[in-house]
């Protein structure tokens, strides 16, 4: 059997019939910048990239680059939650919620339809999770995914071997890319609950080329206020229902903390030519606009 060395796999050699999805970090490194000092990164080995200016090194584990190793605040709670066993159980409720609107694919399309044709383009998916949007993305689109969950990104890599994906554990608030790197970006299901939604939205806009699309969707922040327990003032019961029945665990506190979030001022600060559309039967929103330069 012929063997070839494949950078970024963590192994010294692999079969020449290696799957198409193996990330070539020695070429992909040119798309990255240091999150500490913003200098370009360089390829050091199959296990690490390094900063060309400061001494920072970034590990590659199971084909996924790690630019943030330790999270704080809500991002730390979310990282534990999405790396853990409760999140796959919550998907059941998501499935139930999408059912009356024609299923998951249609619900995702209410967001993705705001992106232009993606063939042959560079696309960034912020908070990519386990890549549930990938089936709606063409195989000839170069997709970069950022998420705080190592477990979910590794699952994306396994589940979508035919797609061209480059995956990074990091935060929406501190993206490891130079300005104007991507043709377009999107993010589905994270903005309301990141540590700093305003900073995250500005970062998403920063890394998109002028004229490219920034598409960001989530549930309406005050969705939990529609629960009967909330209307009856039974806050402890409401929290219990979210944590236990909906399998949100400690994320229920993060969700309840952010019900007052106002999206519009954040959008006005980051984007031009923007509009906020109502989606998912008025239970969600999608921001579609262009980066402010």
Instruction: Write b or e for each residue in 157-195: b if 16 or more Cβ atoms lie within 10 A of its Cβ, otherwise e.
Output: beebeebbbbbbbbbbbbbbbeeebbbbbbbbbbbbbbb
Contact between 273 and 209 (Cβ < 8 Å): no
Q: Is 192 in the site for ligand SAM (CB under 6 A)?
A: no
* Comparison of 34 and 134: residue with beta carbon closer to Zn ion: 34
* Comparison of 124 and 127: residue with beta carbon closer to ligand SAM: 127
Q: Is 37 in the site for Zn ion (CB under 5 A)?
A: yes
Q: Is 78 in the site for ligand SAM (CB under 6 A)?
A: yes
Least Cα distance to 144 among 108, 107, 175, 113 occurs for 175
Per rule CB under 6 A, count of chain residues that contact ligand SAM: 20
Q: Is 36 in the site for Zn ion (CB under 5 A)?
A: yes
| Span interacting with ligand SAM, options 183-191, 232-240, 244-252, 271-279, rule CB under 6 A | 183-191
**75-78 CB contacts, 8 Å cutoff, 24+ apart:** 75/148, 75/171, 75/173, 75/194, 75/195, 77/250, 77/251, 77/253, 77/254, 78/148, 78/149, 78/193, 78/194, 78/251, 78/254
The one among 4, 54, 139, 283 contacting Zn ion by CB under 5 A: 54
The one among 9, 28, 63, 75 contacting ligand SAM by CB under 6 A: 75
E strands within the chain? 3-4, 14-15, 41-45, 48-51, 57-61, 64-66, 122-126, 142-147, 164-169, 184-188, 214-219, 271-279, 284-291
* Comparison of 43 and 144: residue with beta carbon closer to ligand SAM: 144
Scan residues 239-278 and list those touching ligand SAM (CB under 6 A).
Answer: none
Q: Is 67 in the site for ligand SAM (CB under 6 A)?
A: no
Which strands sit side by side in the sheet containing 271-279, from one edge to the other? 41-45, 48-51, 57-61, 64-66, 164-169, 142-147, 122-126, 184-188, 214-219, 284-291, 271-279
CB 198 → ligand SAM: shortest distance, Å?
Answer: 12
In this chain, which residue has its C-beta nearest to ligand SAM? 129
Which of the listed partners (ligand SAM, Zn ion, none) does 127 bind, with a CB threshold of 5 to 8 Å by partner kind?
A: ligand SAM
CB 115 → ligand SAM: shortest distance, Å?
Answer: 14
> What distance in Å separates the CA atoms of residue 218 and residue 193, rounded to the nearest whole number?
10
CB 180 → Zn ion: shortest distance, Å?
Answer: 20
* Comparison of 64 and 172: residue with beta carbon closer to ligand SAM: 172
x-marked contacts with ligand SAM along 128-167 as a string, rule CB under 6 A: xx--xx------------xxxx--x---------------
Q: Is 56 in the site for Zn ion (CB under 5 A)?
A: yes
CB 130 → ligand SAM: shortest distance, Å?
Answer: 7
> What distance in Å separates the CA atoms of residue 71 and residue 148, rounded to the nearest whole number?
8
Burial of 124 (0-12, 13-18, 19+ CB in 10 A): buried
The one among 34, 64, 124, 188 contacting ligand SAM by CB under 6 A: 188
Residues near Zn ion (CB under 5 A) are 34, 36-37, 39, 51, 53-54, 56
Binding site for ligand SAM (CB under 6 A): 75, 78, 82, 127-129, 132-133, 146-149, 152, 171-173, 188-190, 194
């Amino acid at each position: 059997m012929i063997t070839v060395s494949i950078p970024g796999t963590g192994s010294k050699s692999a079969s020449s019939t290696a799957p198409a999805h193996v990330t070539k970090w020695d070429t992909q490194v040119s798309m990255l910048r240091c999150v500490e000092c913003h200098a370009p990164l360089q390829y050091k080995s199959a296990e690490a990239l390094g900063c060309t200016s400061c001494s920072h090194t970034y590990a590659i584990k199971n084909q996924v680059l790690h630019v943030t190793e330790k999270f704080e605040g809500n991002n730390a709670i979310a990282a534990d939650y999405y790396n853990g066993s409760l999140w796959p159980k919550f998907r059941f409720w998501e499935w139930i919620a999408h059912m009356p609107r024609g299923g998951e694919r249609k619900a995702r399309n209410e967001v993705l339809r705001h992106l232009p044709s993606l063939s042959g383009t560079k696309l960034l998916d912020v908070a990519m999770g386990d890549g549930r949007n990938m089936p709606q993305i063409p195989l000839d689109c170069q997709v970069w995914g950022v998420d705080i969950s190592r477990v979910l990104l590794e699952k994306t890599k396994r589940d979508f071997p035919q797609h061209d994906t480059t995956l990074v554990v990091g935060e929406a608030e501190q993206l490891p890319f130079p300005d104007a790197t991507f043709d377009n970006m999107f993010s589905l299901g994270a903005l309301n609950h990141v540590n700093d939604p305003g900073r995250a939205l500005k970062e998403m806009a920063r890394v998109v080329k002028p004229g490219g699309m920034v598409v960001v969707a989530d549930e309406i922040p005050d969705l939990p206020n529609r629960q009967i327990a909330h209307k009856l003032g039974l806050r402890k019961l409401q929290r219990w229902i979210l944590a236990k029945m909906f399998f949100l665990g400690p994320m229920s506190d993060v969700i309840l903390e952010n019900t007052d979030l106002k999206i519009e001022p954040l959008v006005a600060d980051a984007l031009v030519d923007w509009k906020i559309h109502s989606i998912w039967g008025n239970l969600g929103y999608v921001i579609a606009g262009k980066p402010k330069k």
